[in-house]
A and B are shown apart, each in its own frame.
Chain A
Amino acid sequence: MATVSYKDATRIYPGADHAAVDKLNLEIGDGEFMVLVGPSGCGKSTSLRMLAGLEEVNSGSVWIGDQDVTGLAPKDRDVAMVFQNYALYPHMTVADNMGFALKMKGVAKDERESRVLEAAKLLGLEDLLTRKPKNLSGGQRQRVAMGRAIVRDPQVFLMDEPLSNLDARLRVQTRTQIAALQTRLGVTTVYVTHDQVEAMTMGDRVAVMKDGKLQQVDRPLALYDSPKNLFVAGFIGSPAMNLLPARVVDGGVELGDLVLPVPRETTERATGADVVLGVRPENFELSPTGEGLTMTVNAVEETGADSYLYGSLTGVPHDQQVVARVTTRTPPSRGERVLLHIDPAKVHVFDKTTTERIS
């Protein structure tokens, strides 16, 4: 068990004019499940590989527990990459498929067997131990692969897009299982994905990266409820947060044909008159009062009790598609106009110039 710390860790690839990872500072707690997320090229894989020992650290350092591992060879770091390769050997039992690498390391037979059994119990594979892998389902194969890493009993698990080759169903199934398993095992885990839904459903905390820089690290709900800047606001959430251009005016912020009352101490933090209002789809509601923003509905998607309305707002540029999630028994139809109400307390305000949150 161990903590992981990045201290100003920087990686500049040979010939590159900017850092792939730029002064990363990140503290990962003992037993924590930390997800690194961001769009392609943001530096998340490079960050993970610096921890694994696959990429050089040009400046700064990487620590596991109280040991500086910056210069250590990968095999001396006691970390395990999970899922890189999970070929199952047809002539070996499930137990041997899980434990063979321990044999290579010279771990005694009794010890091997007990570690395999323990892992199998955790993974619900106990009854399958003596079988050959032939009849295993896709999910069971995934678990045998996890078992391989678990029996090694490393200080840290590293996973880089482990689910990207799976179909959607197996992806949902496996992500739930990995998260549950990690909680039970309590082994510090660093997990890389480009998929924010995966990040938000799995991580204890999520670190959002962009252009080699850490944008925000927090618990999923905190990221969702108070994104630190426009990038995080737009990246986290699906459907994404609506980001609408607005202006600071007397008494609040003007959006389309409506003035939202926003406290003065918020608007005073803006560097200019231009701000961006962030509204989550579920923070719209069909206006009960006959007042609000007019939306022309382009499409409706019903999901259970809720409907997603897609359309444009009067007074807001038309290329700005807006999504609202509303609860109603009689959803509007295409082409219809509806009045939307926004609770000012649930609006996120960002400075347009600095892109930082000011609310």
Chain B
Amino acid sequence: MRRPAGRNAPLDAAGWHTGPVPRFLSAKPDARLIPLPWGTPLAEWPVEHLVALPRGISRHVVRFIKVGDQVYGAKEVVEHVAIHEYRLLHDLRRLGTPSVEPVAVVSGRVDADGVPLDPVLITRHLDFALPYRSLFSPGVRHDTVMRLLDAMVVLLARLHLLGFMWGDVSLSNILFRRDADTFAAYLVDAETGELHDQLTDGQRSHDLEIARVNIFGDFCDLEAGGLLDESLDPLSLVETIESRYHELWDELTGLEEFSDSELYRIESRVRRLNALGFDVAELDIQTSPDGRTISIQPKVVDAGHHSRRLMRLTGLDTEENQARRLLNDLDTFRARMQLQDADESVVAHQWLTECFEPVISAIPPELSGKRDPAQIYHEVLDYRWYMSQREDREAPLVKATKGYVRDVLNTLPDEAMSRDVLVTVDGGDHRLINPYDPSLGFVDDLEGDEGPVHDPWEEAAEGIDAGQAEVLDVDALRRRG
């Protein structure tokens, strides 16, 4: 690999860099990443390697980098954090949690003068993720908001069930994807996370408190930027999150007692959990000594009830509610074709080739970046329902697909990677100061921020020498006594 030669970096006879070269820690390396300009701080990378996709605010330098048709998220961060986050993201994915996929940690970077640079953590860009900074904007529907909040709550409860304490729940650290009529939330920033066998109530309530404060702050920030619908109140939004979290947690883990004449309640509990998208792997059922009182408590619940079933039957990897919708369609198909007695997987295969695949292959390739396939299928089913209502007879799937493409899909923005650097607010457009970094805010936010300020602390800090970090100044200690 040939790297730009640094001013002070030694070159060997062939002109190769003999100084330190970056190391890649990676399970699934993408060789196209290797020749990127790792010797340059991420903030100064030439734009030819970057894409300005909307994203959340961040403390670290974060950029989306593009190699071929693949986009990656890149975060410059100190080594122990980069490795910790890389490993945690691996663990989370292994446990089936919705989170971004870690790709590599690039370490051992040095700049042209031989000065070390922080490593870069690389994650695969989550396609079809919706930028939250526009999700709550003026005009948003109330039930959309509730569904977004529910998606967050489900994510947090799932993480807590696994023993994961996030430590930094915030809107910026969550990505949303469409999931039929609802949303699915993904974890994007695991930096502060910790995986335990089981969380204590204290750890859960601490995480929830962090969520409250951060998300309240996020909403206040959206409000201050004119990005929050007027009808929404940050405080009641976070209170909703908290109360829904408690409701969900109780349903998932709570103890339920009833008399021996109400045994059906065991079945109803399992059904309620299934309806929430959870499978019950272990249910603890106890009977009082006199046999009159039954108590039940779910011990192990796994998210993904419907998506696992759909995956098993068809190999399709979808969100939970998309799976629910597709499975319903599969059931309808079975009834319509009078296949009640046929093997489930045979029917599923038939459904896949006769229903799902024809719809997806009828989508013009240039429109495929607007919605993921399962979402398209879901929306086509919706479209067909309205069409059938209108025409008072069941519309064929092929015809509905054509109509959907023409009337709906055509008009939608690209969501695989939306590229709006302009944020539309109150009819006006606000331009980001830096299209690659929303953490800096809008250009017009800067008004009134000119001119120097007096900051005594900054002045006092001027003479500081980084070398002091390592040496214990005993003489200073003696002076202090």
Contact = CB atoms under 8 A, between A and B. Distances in A.
B344 interface: no
B396 interface: no
Interface stretch (A28-36, A87-95, A291-299): A87-95
A238 B468 CA distance: 11
Interface in A121-161: 123-125, 127-128, 130-135, 137, 139-140, 143
13 contacts: A14-B197, A53-B206, A85-B210, A87-B217, A92-B217, A96-B220, A103-B220, A133-B441, A135-B449, A165-B77, A168-B469, A224-B472, A224-B477
Contacts of A177: 457, 461
B202 to A, nearest CB: 4
Contacts of A128: 453, 455
B146 to A, nearest CB: 20
A86 B213 CA distance: 11
Nearest to A174: B461
Interface string A1-25: 0000000000000110000000000
A201 B234 CA distance: 41
A104 interface: yes
Given A56-B200, A101-B217, A131 B472 contact: no
Interface residues of B, number: 70
B202 A100 contact: no
B206 A52 contact: yes
Interface of A: 14-15, 52-56, 73-75, 84-92, 96-97, 100-101, 103-104, 123-125, 127-128, 130-135, 137, 139-140, 143, 164-165, 167-169, 171-173, 176-177, 196-197, 200-201, 220-221, 224, 237-238, 282
B224 A89 contact: yes
Contact of B477 (A89, A165, A172, A220): A220
A89 B217 CA distance: 7
Interface of B: 57-59, 77-78, 80-81, 167-168, 170, 172, 192, 197-198, 200-203, 205-206, 209-210, 212-214, 216-218, 220-222, 224-225, 227, 234-235, 238, 433, 438-442, 445-446, 448-449, 453-458, 461, 464-474, 476-478, 480-481
A293 B401 CA distance: 92
B472 A127 contact: no
Contacts of A238: 470-472
Contacts of B442: 90-91
Nearest to A128: B453
Given A165-B78, A168-B470, 11 more contacts: A53-B202, A85-B192, A90-B221, A90-B445, A91-B445, A127-B454, A135-B449, A164-B78, A172-B469, A176-B461, A221-B480
8 residue pairs, one from A and one from B, having the closest CB atoms: A90-B441, A91-B225, A89-B221, A168-B466, A91-B224, A124-B457, A127-B453, A169-B466
Contacts of B461: 139, 173, 176-177
A47 to B, nearest CB: 14
A101 B472 contact: no
